[in-house]
Amino acid sequence: MNNKEYKKLEELVYNYPTEYKEGFMWEEENKLLEKFPDIKMDRYTNAMRGNTCMVKNGHIITYHCDILKALVCGIEDRDLTVLEWD
């Protein structure tokens, strides 16, 4: 993924209309994923393992940065790099 493609993806994730400013509820994440029918879901899921999230009003919220990293991994068909772990 080149820099221009990454920036476009980053804008999509960070400007996605989520109920909570902190990030995505499960339903919102699934709606976002519908935009990527060819994504490698095993890579996406692997990248999401062990990420940090929060609970707000009874909802599990996944941070934008984790969604973005997982999307990149799924699109590029790769695992997280050591530098991408948080």
User: Is this prediction's pTM over 0.85?
Assistant: yes
> Residue 49's Cα: distance from chain center in Å?
11
Q: Which residue has the tokens 């599990």?
A: 60
Question: Which are the contacts of 11, defined by CB distance < 8 A and separation ≥ 6?
Answer: none
Closest-CA residue to 62 (of 14, 13, 29): 29
Give 30-45 pLDDT, tens digit per residue.
999 999 999 999 999 9
38-75 tens-digit pLDDT: 999 999 999 999 888 999 999 999 999 999 999 999 99
